[in-house]
Structure 1
Amino acid sequence: MRSFWQRNRWLMLRRSSQLVILALFLIGPLLGIWWVKGTLASSFSFGFLPLTDPMILLQTWLAGHTPERQAVIGAALVLAVYLIVGGRMFCSWVCPVNLITDFARWCRSRLGLKAGQQVARNTRYWLLAGVLLLSFITQTVAWEWVNPVTGLQRGMLFGMGLAWTMAIAIFIYDTVLVSRGWCGHWCPVGAFYALVGKTALIRITAPKRHACDDCMQCFYVCPEPQVIRVALKGQGSPVIVAGECSNCARCIDVCDQDVFKISHRFNQHTDLPL
């Protein structure tokens, strides 16, 4: 019998990561401890480390503005990290909106809600293209008008206002209408990082896929279940290479057969059945 820690260790590590990162941004304005200044869009940490969301930098260029050198360095650093660990690790290990959407998924499960609207997952890529085009047309960083990520950060400091509206709307949408609706179908930030992470080094693999007993738990907990099937049920590579995979590792947590593990994209090894 696997312990609670064994079945939830990656989930608890993700929650710790999200909360610690959020706390680092909040303790400056709230307590005067300025380890990190700025938001997840652009920040300056520990007096030497600039970090910039590459999607924000791209919109800045499209809007006809020349970013500061520090912003370019910050975006390059972020890109370098996510090209190694997987772009959508931002979604599962950093983004505070993930706390809302995961809670909505839990509520949906508790309420026994099954059916929902059908939305194509590539909708988020069309929305990303629209956001970039809008930045070019309006000469502004268009996504920051409605970005729920930085909206939540500002709301926690200055009063939620519109941020409450966005958070509640995302929660209701994910709970009642579409499972994993915002992150899995609409969010252009997730789409951007999925493109960044297509060639990332760190990957979830299924080296013991022969031991799969078809319990479907991995498909149930995965925010992007369509990425699992080829690696788990195919005859080729056991590596989940899709950029949409967020490396949340919940499949590792819930699998009693220890089918999955974290490895790298070049590890094509599969254990032979006994």
Structure 2
Amino acid sequence: MSVETHRPVGFEALEEKGWIGSRRFLLLRRASQLLFLALFLTGPLFGLWITKGTLAGSMTFDILPLTDPFVATQSFVAGHWPSATALLGALIVVVAYVLLGGRSYCSWVCPVNPVTDAAHWVHRRLDLPKGWQPKRSTRLWLVGIVLAVSLLTGTIAWEAINPVTIIHRGLVFGLASAWIVAAGVFLFDLFVARRGWCGHICPVGAFYGLIGKVALVRVSAANRDACDNCMDCYAVCPEKQVISPALKGAPGSSPIILAGDCTNCGGFIDVCAQHVFSFTHRFDERIVEPSPQSAPEQSAASKIHKECSQ
């Protein structure tokens, strides 16, 4: 929230960029999520089978196989060697994650993301306490537990309870279970743990984050000297811990957000009225040099921020 006027998050960006400009990546993400869902829906609804299967494993136009690498890993650990087609599909997805970021899936494809975003919006509107906040390493421990259970039971363990698969399958095939699970995730994030499911629990996102550590596409705070400390970026980011090293790092430090937890959602690009952030690649270390007249303005903004925080 703006520290100068206590205006809603993104208000300054709305004035600076307009309604679409201040929601550009949010609108693109929703369009992307609907597009991926539509690819699966055309078959059951219209008999036009563009993509068959689910997000766990699919075939598009009977040519392009895509396999969830976490599912493929569980299958391998369980003692079931995936087919050549499934392995090819997993390799294609891994390559995509290495380029785009593993957790880009979480913000641009996953059907659970609109549910958790809605819960966070309501949470902020009601000004609820953040609730239980397990360590973010919890989801990494869950990755290990899931693989151990797969090993011991000989099954793809997580798929039996995976909200992503249940919600997606329910939406595609019209199952009531989708709404029940979606409601459960919504209520968990609303009343139990703010940003809890995706940020602290989901092992799928954690697994993709491990792959995403080497991703090429990154967000840069190249114009970080223009930051006026409004804190809007922290307010909207689902993984706010990734921001500070790039935005508030020591002089000469990298402006690139390199953490695997980053979902590349573009949320804080949208709400930043100062145009601090932008998408780039991991090797782009450029930093925009501040203009001479901006120093007094930055000093004043920092002073206001400090006074309002006291």
Q: Name the residue aligned to 1:97.
A: 112
Alignment correspondent of 2:202: 187
1:266 aligns with one of 280, 283, 287: 283
**1:255 is aligned to 2:265:** no
Query: When the two structures are superposed, what TM-score results if normalisation uses the length of structure 1?
Result: 0.98
The 4+ residue runs of structure 1 with deviation greater than 4 A are none
Using the TM superposition, name which of 152-161 and 103-112 deviates more.
152-161
1:21 and 1:107 map into 2 onto residues whose CA distance is 26
Find the counterpart in structure 2 of residue 140 from structure 1.
Answer: 155
Deviations 1:237-264 (CA, angstroms, capped at 9, x unpaired): 0000000000001111000000000001
Query: For 1:190-215, what per-residue CA distance to the aligned partner results, in whole angstroms no more than 9, with x for missing partners?
Result: 00000000011100000010010000
Following superposition, the deviation at residue 26 of structure 1 comes to 1.4
State the match for 1:109 in structure 2: 124
Correspondence for 1:171 among 186, 192, 205: 186
Distance 1:21 1:215 in 2: 35
CA separation in 2, counterparts of 1:176 and 1:4?
Answer: 30
Q: Does 1:14 align with 2:36?
A: no
Partner of 2:256: 239
Greater shift after overlay, 147-156 or 209-218?
Answer: 147-156
Greater Cα shift, 105-114 or 52-61:
105-114
Find the aligned partners of 2:176 and 2:147 in 1 and give their Cα distance.
Answer: 26
TM-score normalised to structure 2 length: 0.87
Residue 119 of structure 1 deviates from its aligned partner by: 1.1
Name the CA distance, whole Å, in 2 between partners of 1:79 and 1:162: 29
- CA deviations 1:46-85 (Å, max 9, x no partner) are 1210000001100111110121110000000000010011
- Mapping of residues 122-137 of structure 1, within 5 Å: 122-137=137-152
2:17 is matched with which residue?
2
**C-alpha offsets along residues 121-178 of structure 1, whole Å, 9 cap, x if unaligned?**
1100001110011100000000110011111122224443443332111100101121
Q: Quick one: distance in 1 between partners of 2:233 and 2:258?
A: 16
**Match for residue 209 of structure 1?**
224
For residue 32 of structure 2, what is the amino acid of its counterpart? S
Deviations 1:19-59 (A, max 9, x none): 11011111111211100000000000012100000011001
CA distance, structure 1, for counterparts of residue 129 and residue 18 of structure 2: 29
Q: Which residue of 2 aligns with 1:73?
A: 88
How far residue 114 of structure 1 moved from its aligned partner, in angstroms, is 3.2
Any idea what SS the aligned residue of 1:3 has? helix
- Unmatched tracts of structure 1, length 5 or more: none
Of 61, 67, 77 in structure 2, the residue corresponding to residue 62 of structure 1 is 77
Q: Highest CA radius of gyration, 1 or 2?
A: 2
2:257 maps to amino acid = I
Q: 8 Å contact 2:44–2:173 — kept in the other structure?
A: no
Unmatched 5+ stretches in structure 2: 1-15, 292-310
CA distance, structure 2, for counterparts of residue 7 and residue 159 of structure 1: 34
- What RMSD, in angstroms, separates the aligned Cα atoms of the two structures? 1.0
Q: Answer whether contact 2:133 2:196 (CA < 8 A) is retained.
A: no
